Chain A
Amino acid sequence: MIEIKNLSKSFGENLVWENIKFDISDGETLAIIGKSGCGKSVLLKHLNALLYPDKGEVVIDGYKLFELSYAELRKIRQKFGILFQGGALFDSINTFENVAFPLRYFTNLGELEIRKKVEKALEMVNLIGSGDKPTSALSGGMRKRVGLARAIILEPEYVLYDEPTSGLDPQTSEEINDLIIYMSEQLEITSIVITHDMHSVLQIAEKVMFLDQKKLSWHGTIEEMKSSTDESLLDFIKASEYQI
């Protein structure tokens, strides 16, 4: 369970958003939508204390994230898998080793088991046979998928996806969406997905957060979104439908 309480963040003079309140229940799939630059990625990083707010709290399974000691924080962070917007692959090691990285440091698995798990994860993101490639030889969409494989390799309780399908072709997008659904339904993972893509929102999400005008402008279930009369939300949805 993730509770976001009165969260506000600015960088210097620039307010990103303020007073965000929201609860995310276990097993839920939440989509965070909003225009580019509205602070979606910044919000996501607060859920892992990669950024600290000016005000407010994030409470994860009862622990106040910003008050934890570093040792405690590291334990909480291990409940999470994060797909970063740019993939954030380690460029000093190859694709296979990127996915294997958490396994090597946080499990006692032998080489054979690691190989099996990594190959299975690469297969899930449709990247069989790319393990030997250096990360610099991957396309943007491939980097994203490797990042996704790495994020879920330890089967975390929470997965945060920062634009998992942007830059992918429609078919691969579809497969990634299916994978996110599989992860949350079969493995009962709590998923938080940042996306511009209303098509994926409709496919995967149960709840929606809409960031606009430096605040949490609208939130609700998918059904509520479909029948919403909120003007800025409708504008956003309309604009993105033209993109499809």
Chain B
Amino acid sequence: MEAIRQLGQYATLLYHALRSILEFSIYRKNLFQEFVKIGYESIPIIMLTGVFTGAVLTLQTAYQLDTDFYPASIVGSIVGQSIIIELAAVIGALVLAGKVGARISTEIGTMRVSEQIDALESMGFNSVTFLVIPRVLSGIFMFPVLYVIAAVTGILGGLLAGSLDGILPAAEFMQGAREFFFPEDVVFGVVKSFVFGFVITSISSFKGYYASGGAEGVGNATTQATVLSCIYVLLSDFVLAALLL
């Protein structure tokens, strides 16, 4: 029952957002701020995540495969494709659910409990236009960019780990990766990260927007926002794989 009520509330919030999406002048300034906060400021953590994911994946793949039977370049193929199809998007999104999602729900939740949202509304502003739209749009636009960064650094990480650990030379890694590089995999990854960007920013905005009960309420909203974001990222990952692969 509570779940259905919340779903209704979430849908209503999105409907309101969609209806006022053309009031660009209201949220223009916030949009550029959010591009920076969600996109630009996430680059370091995304690069770090990418490099380590690629590196670990390379070591583990080499360990699991008996390379006497396969050409060593197969490690590059497996690592490259796994990163592009799945890992860059999903691990990136899970990290960003913590970083971006928590910030959004805390920020909007604090504005709710300190009556800043009431103040906006009382001035005749549509607070949804002002607060939710720029965050969700930034998520939708920036997550694919972050995905590409994660994928590139992931493959670089794999390549580095492979050559530093003496598993296979960089050239062979790249050759393997190239053999199994399909542009449609990148499209799939971009679509995924687009969806993840929407899921995380919209759920976090929603939880913050309806927070109540002081600092504790904001804390609860943020916990729920990150947990739900992670759950729905994994769920939508599964659904997209079933639909598109």
A positions within 8 Å CB-CB of B: 45, 48, 50, 70, 74-75, 77-78, 80, 82, 84-86, 88-91, 101-102, 105-106
Is the Cβ of B115 less than 8 Å from the Cβ of A105? no
Is the Cβ of B122 less than 8 Å from the Cβ of A74? no
- Shortest distance between the CB of A159 and any CB in chain B (Å): 11
B26, B121, B122 — most chain A CB neighbours (10 Å): B122
Is the Cβ of A89 less than 8 Å from the Cβ of B116? yes
Is the Cβ of B124 less than 8 Å from the Cβ of A90? no
Question: Chain A residues near B116 (CB, 8 Å)?
Answer: 88-91
- Shortest distance between the CB of A118 and any CB in chain B (Å): 15
Is the Cβ of A105 less than 8 Å from the Cβ of B126? no
Is the Cβ of A85 less than 8 Å from the Cβ of B122? no
Report how far A106 CA is from B122 CA in the complex, Å.
Answer: 13
Residue ID in chain B nearest A49 by CB atoms:
B121
Cross-chain pairs A/B with CB under 8 angstroms, 26 sampled: A45-B118, A48-B122, A50-B118, A50-B121, A50-B122, A70-B16, A70-B126, A74-B124, A74-B125, A77-B122, A78-B123, A80-B122, A82-B118, A82-B119, A84-B115, A85-B115, A86-B114, A88-B115, A88-B118, A88-B119, A90-B111, A90-B119, A91-B110, A91-B114, A105-B26, A105-B125
Once A and B bind, how many residue pairs between them come within 8 Å at the CB atom?
A: 47
B positions within 8 Å CB-CB of A: 16, 26, 110-111, 114-116, 118-119, 121-126
A82-B119, A105-B26 known; A74+B126 contact, CB < 8 A: yes
Is the Cβ of A77 less than 8 Å from the Cβ of B115? no
Question: Chain A residues near B26 (CB, 8 Å)?
Answer: 105
Question: Chain A residues near B124 (CB, 8 Å)?
Answer: 74-75, 77-78, 106
Report how far A179 CA is from B236 CA in the complex, Å.
Answer: 57
Report how far A75 CA is from B122 CA in the complex, Å.
Answer: 10
Report how far A228 CA is from B154 CA in the complex, Å.
Answer: 79
| Contact among B16, B114, B125, B126 for A88, CB-based, below 8 A | B114
Report how far A70 CA is from B111 CA in the complex, Å.
Answer: 21
Question: Chain B residues near A86 (CB, 8 Å)?
Answer: 114-115
- Shortest distance between the CB of A109 and any CB in chain B (Å): 16
B16, B118, B124, B126 — most chain A CB neighbours (10 Å): B124
- Shortest distance between the CB of B5 and any CB in chain A (Å): 13
Question: Chain A residues near B121 (CB, 8 Å)?
Answer: 48, 50, 77
Question: Chain A residues near B110 (CB, 8 Å)?
Answer: 91
Residue ID in chain B nearest A89 by CB atoms:
B116
Is the Cβ of B118 less than 8 Å from the Cβ of A84? yes
Residue ID in chain B nearest A45 by CB atoms:
B118
Report how far A84 CA is from B122 CA in the complex, Å.
Answer: 10
Is the Cβ of A77 less than 8 Å from the Cβ of B118? no
Question: Chain A residues near B123 (CB, 8 Å)?
Answer: 77-78, 101-102, 105-106
- Shortest distance between the CB of B179 and any CB in chain A (Å): 50
Is the Cβ of B126 less than 8 Å from the Cβ of A84? no
Report how far A105 CA is from B26 CA in the complex, Å.
Answer: 8
Residue ID in chain A nearest B123 by CB atoms:
A102
Report how far A86 CA is from B118 CA in the complex, Å.
Answer: 12
Report how far A144 CA is from B163 CA in the complex, Å.
Answer: 63
Question: Chain A residues near B114 (CB, 8 Å)?
Answer: 86, 88, 91
- Shortest distance between the CB of B20 and any CB in chain A (Å): 9
Residue ID in chain A nearest B110 by CB atoms:
A91
- Shortest distance between the CB of B114 and any CB in chain A (Å): 6
* Inter-chain pairs besides A84-B115, A105-B123, 6 sampled, C-beta below 8 Å: A50-B122, A78-B124, A82-B118, A82-B122, A86-B114, A91-B116
Residue ID in chain B nearest A102 by CB atoms:
B123
Question: Chain A residues near B125 (CB, 8 Å)?
Answer: 74, 105
Question: Chain A residues near B111 (CB, 8 Å)?
Answer: 90
Residue ID in chain A nearest B128 by CB atoms:
A70
Report how far A47 CA is from B115 CA in the complex, Å.
Answer: 15
